[in-house]
Structure formats: structure tokens, C-alpha cells
Amino acid sequence: MKRWSVIIAAVVVAIACVTGCGAATDTGAVKTEGASLNLQPRENLKDGGSLTTVLPEVSAQWNTFHADGNVYTLALWRWYNPLLAYFTPDGRYLPNPDYLTDVRTEIVGRDTVVTYTVNPKAFFNDGTPIDYRAFVETWRTSRGVDDRYLVSSSDGYSQIASVTRGADDREVVVRFDGVYAWPDGLFNVVLHPKAAAPDVYNEGYVRKPHPEWGAGPFTIASYDADNGTVVFERNPKWWGKPGKLDRRIFRQMESQAALNAFQNGEIDATGVAAKDARARALTMNGIDIRTAAAPQQSLLVLNLDTPILSDRRVREAVLSAVDRETLSRIRFTGLNYTEELPGSLSLYPFQPGYEDNLSKVLSYDPAKAEELLDRAGWLKGGDGIRSKDGRRLSLELPNIGDDTTTQNLSRALQAILKKVGVDLTVRQRPSADFSQVVVNKEFDLLLLGFSSSDPFGMAYFCQVWCTGSQLNPAGAGSPELDAQIDAMSRIGDPMAQIKAGNELEREAFAQFSNLPLFNGPSMVAVKEGLANYGAGQFYVGPIEDVGWEK
């Protein structure tokens, strides 16, 4: 599944919550092949201690399935709710035996059928068994047929024909309508049946995390919604190996404040995938900088509801004028890192089947941008800014948070667009406003981040491009494109679906709504001795094993 996030380094801390990594040095170019994991067995870890990190936002919406949920919602959800599956750094699926003792996938007739056997020890904290009912309600609320539920994504769940009880309550039989290419991307987290009523699903988790509906090694000890602080402690109702940490603490903080707090020893890790942050981290003693390839994408989004941007020619002109090479250099200055410009919002360059689909549709061409704007009737005035019918070609970009690199990118984009006659106003917004800006579409242009919680990117094509999708803040799409996406998603062979998806993504890019900018590395500075935590690509592992070496 994809989740939106603030664009730059702050996203790293959220993604890193259950990942591991190895130390990086400052000699030569940064290496990001795969993941450099500092995995340690439990016997090498101390019992006790705490881990404190930051998030740009502690979202008011705690339901990770809800449309307002983002990458930070998922980061917190995983610390106190059932986590049914792990992933290796390269994206291989591994059932979590504390919840699933067996997962069997087969083709029965013409349908994919997945049979889950749930551990008989698995219970929610309120005593409700984790059984077929949790799977049924997760499917029923996520399948996208009942518009009373504001879902983050119905991808995959919409292709399930039935979820039924098997030999007993702890056996779950999921039958798809045909062959489904990505079954390992579903039911990795599940919803408590008591949260399945529409009003509870949509509003019940707002500023109310409901730890009684969770399960796992940790539960919530305290939550301060006003100050954005969440404290987790060991869960006495957990049936598996106990968490190594006494406490896990998240604090909402701007990136510059987080770096100061890390330097002062107030927090234990922070994202440093930006020039100034990394430079400061390299001067500190007793830390590791952990680096890996990042399953995250930064992009420029245009709001099609903005009257000026409702004209396709204007959108194409704006995106044709964007010098991505310059923005990429600004983004990676001081990191000893380079990458090819990305050409997809579905797959990453390090994944099989990736193609540069954007280049088939759009390239950097400021002369073409000027020609398009001329043809659309936007003519340059004496100050170089275009106008039409007495209205200036003025657009607004919110700069979210106080990260220096993000601010530099916003200013650079402002200067780039001015060259072709677009007046771009940059308005500063705090990180805590992030969800408000996205959900309420309080932007004309927006620098946004997507992060992937698993490797099945083509499975979530609809999240980015379907009309009405909450992960489509541009408002792009059409009924015709939706139908094509649905047909593509029903191709059962994974590589055949990727091939069809690449072709379809070129059509989607031709709407000129979303422009991939860069992917970048994950870089996390941590105090020495922190184990099973950091930058791990697709890695998701046992949170009970995060801790401090002896």
C-alpha cells in the first residue's frame, strides 16, 4: 500500500520504526543497493531501556485503513495492533507465526484461494479472538462497495469474492474473483470487528487510538494529542516473546527541532537525508548513519480543481517547465548521492519490471511550455508574469515544515516557473498542518511524498490514479481510465500485469497532474548500540526485537 508523507527527510523516521540497517561512512558515494541491516538476535540485546524518535505529525486519525490515514498513522498503528506479516528487505513475504501458523495460496478452479490458519493464542486486548471475523470485517470495510466507509484503498480487497470460516473459527478462507497477482499484500494488518460500524470506522479513531482493540508486544501507555506525544509500553496480554524495550516514545517535532534534540541526546534517532542534517550528524560522536535504498517517491502534484489548472495545456506547460535535474541536485547536495530521474509512480528503479514511463510523455522543455501558455491565451506582461482576461497566472505552493532542503526546493521551483511567466507564491505551513493541506486540497501545487509499505507497487495503481481516491489529491482520472485500471488489475500473472501497467501509466501521466521528482536514499542517524532499527528498504520485522545491544 502507498501512503502520503511530507516530502523530505522526515519520512525516514516513520518508515524506520521496525526496520534495521548498517552504518554508513562519508568516504565516496553513498551505497544503497538493497539494505545494510544491523540485525541482532535477541540474546545480544539488553532487557529494558527506551527508544525515542520523532514524527512530523501525529495524525488525529488513528485508523490506518481510513482515507485520512498516512505513513505516520501506519507507523504508530504497527506498534500496538496485530502485525500479521513481515517482509525481508527485498520484499519477500513472511507470515508472523505469533498470528499466523500457516498461509497457503493455491489456484482452485479459476480463482486464487488463500487459506490462513490463525494462532489459537491470538486475541485482541479486550479478549476478542483474532479469527475469521476480523478478516471478514477488514474485507467488508475495505472492498470499496459501501460508500459509508472512507477507505484509504480498496485495491486487492475489491477483487475478493468471499471471506469465510474454514474448518473452525481460526481458519480463514479467502477466495478471489479470478486469479489475483498480489495476495501477499492483503491482510497484513486487520481491523477489530468492533470498529467495523461506519461511524466508528470513520470517527471512532479520531484522537482515540483504542488500545483495547489492538494486540501485540506493546500497547499505549499514554497519548497527548495536544503535544503530539505517544508512549508505548510492554503489553501484559501479549502471548509471544516480550518486547526488549520498556518504552517506545514518539514525539511530534519539526525536522530542525528534531536534529537539535538528537544532538542534545533527547531523542535516539532522526532522519538525516538532507545536506545540513547529515553534515551536523557527521560531527557527532557515538552515532551511526544508516543508509539504504528508500521505497519512497517525491513528486509535484497539481490541483486540477484550481481554475487555472483545469486547462490541460496549462498543466502540461507547468510540468514541462520544471527542471527536475536542478531540483534533484538541490535535494541531494551534500549527500554524496546521485540517481537517475524516476519515471514511474508504481515501481522503483531497483524493482523488476520498472520502466521510465514519464519520458514517453513529458520532458523538460521550457520553450514548449512558453508556446503552450501562449496558445492558451496567457501572455507575458511587462514584469514577465503572464495574464489572461485581466487575471495573473498566479499559483500557490504550501511549504510544509522547516526542513532547509524543502525550503530550498520550494524557492527553486518558484524561480524555475517564473522564467516561463508563472507567479508561484510559497506559503509556509507547519508540519502539523500536513494532513489538513492534503485532505482539504489547500494547494495549487504541492510537493508530496509517497511511501510504500510493501513491494507490490502495481497493485496500488488505482490509489494514485483512480477518480475519487484519497491518494489522488490532484483529482486526476476519468471513468474511462478507471475502467482500464480495473481491467489491468485483473491480470493474474504479475509480470504481465506490470507490462500492462507500464503502458497504462503513460496514459495516466498524459493528464499532466503528477510529476515524479526523485526517490532518494533513506538515511537515519542513530545512537550506537541501537539494534534492529534504521533504513531497511521494504524490511518489516518484529518490533519486540528492537532494542539496545548489551
Q: Are the beta carbons of 295 and 3 closer than 8 angstroms?
A: no
Q: 540 φ, ψ to 5°?
A: -130, 125
- What pLDDT score does 29 carry? 56
- What pLDDT score does 215 carry? 98
Within this chain, do residues 432 and 538 fall inside the same structural domain, yes or no? no
- What pLDDT score does 236 carry? 98
Asked, for residue 240, whether it belongs to a domain, the answer is no
Within this chain, do residues 487 and 535 fall inside the same structural domain, yes or no? no
Within this chain, do residues 191 and 202 fall inside the same structural domain, yes or no? yes
| All cell numbers assigned to 473 | 489529491
Q: Are the beta carbons of 517 and 278 closer than 8 angstroms?
A: no
Q: Are the beta carbons of 61 and 206 closer than 8 angstroms?
A: yes
- What pLDDT score does 112 carry? 98
Please give the tally of structural domains in the chain. Answer: 2
Within this chain, do residues 61 and 113 fall inside the same structural domain, yes or no? yes
Within this chain, do residues 47 and 145 fall inside the same structural domain, yes or no? yes
Q: At what angle do helices 366-375 and 312-321 cross, to 10 degrees?
A: 160
Within this chain, do residues 428 and 531 fall inside the same structural domain, yes or no? no
DSSP states of 251-309: EE--HHHHHHHHHTTSSSEEE--SHHHHHHHTT-SSEEEEEEE--EEEEEEE-TTSGGG
- What pLDDT score does 25 carry? 34
Asked, for residue 247, whether it belongs to a domain, the answer is no
Contacts within 8 Å (CB) and 24+ apart, 410-413: 410/447, 412/326, 412/327, 412/330, 413/300, 413/322, 413/327, 413/445, 413/447
Q: Average pLDDT for consecutive 10-residue bins of the chain (550 residues)?
A: 48 36 40 74 97 93 92 93 95 97 97 98 98 98 95 93 98 98 97 98 98 98 96 98 98 92 96 88 93 89 97 98 96 89 94 96 98 98 96 96 89 98 96 86 93 90 90 94 96 97 98 95 93 91 97
Within this chain, do residues 422 and 506 fall inside the same structural domain, yes or no? yes
The DSSP H or E segment spanning 161 is: strand 160-165
Within this chain, do residues 175 and 104 fall inside the same structural domain, yes or no? yes
* CA dist., res. 300 & res. 293, Å (int): 21
* CA dist., res. 446 & res. 543, Å (int): 33
- What pLDDT score does 24 carry? 32
- What pLDDT score does 28 carry? 47
- What pLDDT score does 520 carry? 86
Looking at residue 205, which CATH number applies to its domain?
3.90.76.10
Looking at residue 443, which CATH number applies to its domain?
3.10.105.10
Asked, for residue 251, whether it belongs to a domain, the answer is no
Asked, for residue 101, whether it belongs to a domain, the answer is yes
Nearest to 226 by CA among 251, 204, 247, 202: 251
Give strand pairing partners of 123.
129
Containing structural domain, residue 361: 296-519
Within this chain, do residues 455 and 536 fall inside the same structural domain, yes or no? no
* CA dist., res. 245 & res. 158, Å (int): 38
Asked, for residue 233, whether it belongs to a domain, the answer is no
* CA dist., res. 5 & res. 11, Å (int): 6
Within this chain, do residues 429 and 448 fall inside the same structural domain, yes or no? yes
- What pLDDT score does 20 carry? 31
Sign of the alpha-carbon torsion through 370, 372, 375, 377 = negative
Within this chain, do residues 465 and 535 fall inside the same structural domain, yes or no? no
- What pLDDT score does 434 carry? 83
- What pLDDT score does 14 carry? 35
- What pLDDT score does 34 carry? 64
Asked, for residue 527, whether it belongs to a domain, the answer is yes
- What pLDDT score does 32 carry? 67
Asked, for residue 257, whether it belongs to a domain, the answer is no
Within this chain, do residues 95 and 194 fall inside the same structural domain, yes or no? yes
* CA dist., res. 50 & res. 548, Å (int): 9
Asked, for residue 416, whether it belongs to a domain, the answer is yes
